[in-house]
């Protein structure tokens, strides 16, 4: 079973590359950003609380996203594998994910990190903000806050997987297809 974590700062290309990987391997896509936006669109109390934080570029509480992932794992017991996109974003989330997977006799195969410099991230997200309608993509100050959250709270998650011998970093700047080819070669070696 193939269980991948696609990792990187906001705008690194996680969602973009996830779509390509799912098409090839038939994995279940678990994007906590997408799950949270679905809650916001449905107007649930969880969504209303999450929106206040997301609109400020701040991470939502660990317990909220861990609960969402647990529900999705339980709903997809027959899956060929999972791609975790934008999760885990803290070391506590990574530890919780390992425990959840272990309770299903599963484990993470590999973390693949897309490495992109902050100026490029800002340009990509401002560009996406012109059409995405996402409030968190439309303001440079907010994008910098998201990158700061990533640097402080999320970047250490790479070390967590490196310690397990499961981390591979690649250059996330370049043609989308070329980056996808690099991801494929990592998956084939895993």
189 is catalytic: no
Task: Identify the residue among 124, 142, 160, 183 touching ligand B4P (CB under 6 A).
Answer: 124
146 is catalytic: yes
- Collapse the DSSP code of 81 into the 3-class scheme (helix H, G, I; strand E, B; otherwise coil) and give the result: strand
Does 59 interact with ligand B4P (rule: CB under 6 A)? yes
Query: Taking CB under 6 A as the criterion, which residues in 161-190 touch ligand B4P?
Result: 174, 176, 179
From the candidates 37, 72, 128, 153, give the one annotated as an active-site residue. Answer: 128
Q: How far is the CB of 131 from ligand B4P (least distance, A)?
A: 8
Cα–Cα distance for residue pair 99/76, rounded to 1 Å:
17
Does 129 interact with ligand B4P (rule: CB under 6 A)? no
Size of site (CB under 6 A) for ligand B4P = 28
Does 86 interact with ligand B4P (rule: CB under 6 A)? yes
- Collapse the DSSP code of 90 into the 3-class scheme (helix H, G, I; strand E, B; otherwise coil) and give the result: coil
Task: Identify the residue among 53, 79, 155, 162 touching ligand B4P (CB under 6 A).
Answer: 53
Look-up: residue for tokens 């790479």?
A: 158
Q: How far is the CB of 158 from ligand B4P (least distance, A)?
A: 15
Beta strands in 118-185 (DSSP E): 167-171
Q: How far is the CB of 157 from ligand B4P (least distance, A)?
A: 10
Q: Is omega for the bond preceding 88 within 30 degrees of 0, making it cis?
A: yes
What angle in degrees, to the nearest 10, is found between the helix axes of 118-132 and 140-149? Answer: 120
Task: Identify the residue among 4, 21, 30, 54 touching ligand B4P (CB under 6 A).
Answer: 54
Residues 6+ apart with CB under 8 A from 136: 54, 55, 57, 142, 143, 146
Cα–Cα distance for residue pair 167/113, rounded to 1 Å:
8
Cα–Cα distance for residue pair 179/183, rounded to 1 Å:
6
Instruction: Tell me which residues are annotated as active site.
Output: 14, 89, 128, 134, 146
The contact set with ligand B4P (CB under 6 A) reads 10-16, 32-33, 36, 53-54, 57-60, 65, 86-87, 89, 93, 124, 128, 136, 146, 174, 176, 179
């Amino acid at each position: 079973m193939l269980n991948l974590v696609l990792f990187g700062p906001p705008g690194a290309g996680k969602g973009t590359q996830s779509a390509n990987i799912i098409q090839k391997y038939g994995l279940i896509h678990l994007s906590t950003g997408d799950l949270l936006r679905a809650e916001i669109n449905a107007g649930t109390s969880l969504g209303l609380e999450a929106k206040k934080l997301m609109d400020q570029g701040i991470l939502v509480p660990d317990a909220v996203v861990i609960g969402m992932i647990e529900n999705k794992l339980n709903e997809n017991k027959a899956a060929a594998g999972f791609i975790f996109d934008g999760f885990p974003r803290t070391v506590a989330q990574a530890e919780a994910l390992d425990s959840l997977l272990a309770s299903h006799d599963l484990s993470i195969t590999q973390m693949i990190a897309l490495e992109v410099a902050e100026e490029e991230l800002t340009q990509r997200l401002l560009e996406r903000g012109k059409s995405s309608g996402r409030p968190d993509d439309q303001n440079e100050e907010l994008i910098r806050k998201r990158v700061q959250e990533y640097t402080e709270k999320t970047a250490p998650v790479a070390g967590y997987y490196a310690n397990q011998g499961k981390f591979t970093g690649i250059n996330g700047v370049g043609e989308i297809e070329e980056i996808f080819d690099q991801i494929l070669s990592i998956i084939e070696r895993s």
